[in-house]
């Protein structure tokens, strides 16, 4: 699955994310916590649906702190 976000390409392949500035690579492994916000906050199935609908990839709203009084 290939995504173009914030001027870079991101590829999800066999449970690993890769990053490149060009479609042709070179591709480098990127840890999940280093992905751009829109990719980090959605599961792959949701990302596929958003991509297919041409909807913008936006981060999910922050969850309220469950421990807050």
Q: What is the DSSP string of 7-60?
A: TEEEEEETTEEEEESSTT---EE--GGGS-HHHHTS-HHHHHHHHHTT----PP
Percent of the chain with pLDDT over 70: 78
Residue 62 has pLDDT above 80, yes or no: no
Give the per-residue pLDDT at 29.
Answer: 97
Give the per-residue pLDDT at 69.
Answer: 46
Residue 35 has pLDDT above 60, yes or no: yes
């Amino acid at each position: 699955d290939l995504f173009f976000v914030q001027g870079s390409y991101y590829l999800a392949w066999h449970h690993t994310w890769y990053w490149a500035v060009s479609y042709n690579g070179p591709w480098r492994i990127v840890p999940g916590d280093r992905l751009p916000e829109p990719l980090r906050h959605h599961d792959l199935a949701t990302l596929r649906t958003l991509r297919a609908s041409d909807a913008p990839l936006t981060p999910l709203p922050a969850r309220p702190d469950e421990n807050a009084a």
